[in-house]
């Protein structure tokens, strides 16, 4: 056997939830998409050699490192994939870009606007030298979401009047759920806002082609203290169990205006009992409407308002036809995709951009803009919900 394609070695930092799903994407993309380059799973990096070695064996990474600084300097690494918590994104990404490595970085881009600005600056400097960077807002790559964008871009929705975006989860409803890193501001930057709110901010911008002009917000932390994560995996939950403060939001609500004149509402929460991963977006325009819910990720609902009222209604498009975004690579109609495939599509687009010498999206500038929205939300929430304009770049 032989294969003349040039290879690109991937070095990935982080091996937990995101690390696993990114690993699977790198392993899978070449089997389904005819790419101009071939990624290799070169190096996996994590602080615990034992743990990172186990994951590397599972997914077929060729080598491991325990220090990301070693990883970014390896000759067999051309792409650095950052799957760590947000507090380390800036340092790793900037160093990798300066070392001439293409960078795929998990969202949110950073924990602060300042960090994001530095990263975006580094990305712009690197791009000038042909080094590419992208933020991993994977939900853009759900075929139904990409189809939504196409329908908007094709003018099927008309002038956008309303956006209703929610990202609802319920994994911390129980007050005894422990104080994991995602509930700590120093590690995660913010709570539901940055973790899942960032996804809907980006997805709405992606689908509508418009940005939020400003926001008015309320945030809340319902459970102020939780068992320490270590403690919770130890002995039973009585008496002396140690607790620590939750330093991020449990939920964030905000309303705002789109640059095109429409109104938008957003909600990100981990307290929506029974909603598991309900990333939902509804868009109402002068010519039509769209509705998506990730819990039924292979479906896009489309209302064509130009049809006679007697024959119109929201139709359930099963986004698995060959003509749908990404779908010619997969199975016959009706044989749906899963969560992991959003990442397959993401690395497919990233690799294609690298090979073609174009800048992939969402760029670090796009990620910076999301960060600005997150900051505007926090500022409004802290200032009596007063409307805060979002600086556009």
d(CA 84, CA 92): 10
3-state secondary structure of 347: helix
Considering the rule CB under 8 A, would residue 370 count as an interface residue with a second copy? no
Considering the rule CB under 8 A, would residue 6 count as an interface residue with a second copy? no
**Out of 11, 30, 360, 367, the residue judged to bind a second copy by CB under 8 A:** 30
Judged by CB, which is closer to a second copy: 267, or 365?
A: 267
Considering the rule CB under 8 A, would residue 177 count as an interface residue with a second copy? no
Considering the rule CB under 8 A, would residue 210 count as an interface residue with a second copy? no
Considering the rule CB under 8 A, would residue 149 count as an interface residue with a second copy? no
Considering the rule CB under 8 A, would residue 263 count as an interface residue with a second copy? yes
d(CA 284, CA 190): 30
In order, the DSSP letters of 365-386 are HHHHHHHHHHHHHHHHHHTTT-
Measure Cα distances from 266 to 200, 216, 276, 280, 306 in Å. Answer: 8, 10, 17, 10, 28
Considering the rule CB under 8 A, would residue 171 count as an interface residue with a second copy? yes
- Which stretch in 82-90, 94-102, 214-222, 362-370 sits in contact with a second copy by CB under 8 A? 214-222
Judged by CB, which is closer to a second copy: 130, or 245?
A: 245
d(CA 348, CA 136): 12
**Out of 15, 302, 326, 364, the residue judged to bind a second copy by CB under 8 A:** 302
**Out of 226, 324, 348, 372, the residue judged to bind a second copy by CB under 8 A:** 324
- Closest to 254 measured CA to CA, from 391, 375, 380, 107: 380
Cβ atoms < 10 Å from Cβ of 213: 17
Q: Tally the C-alpha atoms within 13 A of residue 131's C-alpha that lie toward its C-beta.
A: 24
Cβ pair 5, 37 in contact under 8 A = yes
Considering the rule CB under 8 A, would residue 23 count as an interface residue with a second copy? yes
- Which stretch in 82-90, 103-111, 298-306, 368-376 sits in contact with a second copy by CB under 8 A? 298-306
d(CA 329, CA 338): 14
Considering the rule CB under 8 A, would residue 17 count as an interface residue with a second copy? yes
Judged by CB, which is closer to a second copy: 254, or 292?
A: 254
In degrees, rounded to 5, the angle at the alpha carbon of residue 99 between the alpha carbons of residues 95 and 103 is: 70
Residues 129-148 that bind a second copy (CB under 8 A): 147
Considering the rule CB under 8 A, would residue 49 count as an interface residue with a second copy? no
Residues 63-92 that bind a second copy (CB under 8 A): none
CB of 260 to a second copy, least distance (A): 11
Considering the rule CB under 8 A, would residue 31 count as an interface residue with a second copy? yes
Considering the rule CB under 8 A, would residue 284 count as an interface residue with a second copy? yes
Torsion of CA 149, 154, 157, 163, to 10 degrees: 30
**Out of 90, 317, 370, 374, the residue judged to bind a second copy by CB under 8 A:** 317
Judged by CB, which is closer to a second copy: 147, or 347?
A: 147
* Most distant CA pair in the chain, distance: 67
- Which stretch in 74-82, 176-184, 190-198, 383-391 sits in contact with a second copy by CB under 8 A? 383-391
Considering the rule CB under 8 A, would residue 269 count as an interface residue with a second copy? yes
Measure Cα distances from 145 to 281, 282, 382, 391 in Å. Answer: 9, 11, 33, 26
Total binding residues toward a second copy, as defined by CB under 8 A: 99
- Which stretch in 117-125, 275-283, 351-359, 360-368 sits in contact with a second copy by CB under 8 A? 275-283
């Amino acid at each position: 056997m032989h294969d003349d394609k040039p290879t690109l070695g991937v070095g990935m930092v982080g091996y937990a939830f995101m690390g696993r799903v990114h690993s699977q994407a790198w392993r899978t993309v070449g089997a389904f998409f005819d790419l101009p380059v071939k990624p290799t799973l070169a190096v996996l990096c994590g602080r615990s050699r034992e743990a990172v070695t186990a994951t590397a064996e599972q997914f077929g990474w060729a080598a491991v490192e325990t220090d990301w600084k070693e990883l970014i300097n390896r000759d067999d690494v051309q792409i650095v994939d950052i799957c760590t918590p947000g507090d380390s994104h800036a340092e790793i990404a900037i160093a990798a870009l300066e070392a001439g490595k293409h960078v795929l970085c998990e969202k949110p881009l950073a924990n602060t606007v300042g960090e994001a600005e530095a990263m975006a600056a580094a990305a712009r400097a690197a791009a000038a030298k042909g080094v590419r960077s992208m933020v991993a807002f994977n939900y853009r790559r759900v075929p139904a979401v990409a189809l939504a964008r196409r329908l908007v871009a094709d003018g099927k929705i008309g002038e956008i009047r309303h956006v209703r975006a929610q990202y609802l989860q319920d994994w911390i409803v129980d007050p005894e759920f422990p104080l994991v890193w995602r509930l700590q501001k120093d590690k995660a930057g913010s709570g539901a806002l940055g973790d899942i709110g960032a996804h809907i901010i980006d997805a709405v911008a992606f689908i509508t082609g418009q940005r939020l002009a400003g926001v008015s917000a309320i945030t809340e932390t319902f459970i102020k203290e939780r068992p320490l994560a270590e403690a919770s995996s130890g002995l039973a939950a009585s008496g002396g169990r140690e607790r620590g403060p939750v330093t991020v939001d449990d939920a964030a609500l905000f309303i705002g205006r789109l640059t095109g004149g429409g109104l938008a509402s957003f909600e990100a929460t981990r307290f929506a009992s029974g909603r598991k991963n309900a990333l939902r977006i509804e868009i109402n325009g002068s010519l039509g409407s769209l509705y998506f819910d990730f819990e039924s990720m292979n479906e896009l609902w489309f209302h064509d308002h130009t049809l006679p009222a007697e024959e119109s209604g929201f139709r359930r498009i099963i986004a698995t036809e060959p003509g749908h975004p990404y779908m010619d690579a997969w199975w016959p109609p009706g044989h749906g995709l899963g969560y992991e495939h959003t990442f397959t599509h993401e690395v497919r687009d990233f690799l294609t951009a690298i090979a073609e010498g174009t800048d992939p999206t969402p760029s670090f500038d796009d990620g910076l803009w999301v960060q600005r929205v997150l900051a505007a939300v926090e500022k409004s929430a802290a200032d009596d919900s007063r409307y805060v304009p979002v600086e556009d770049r």
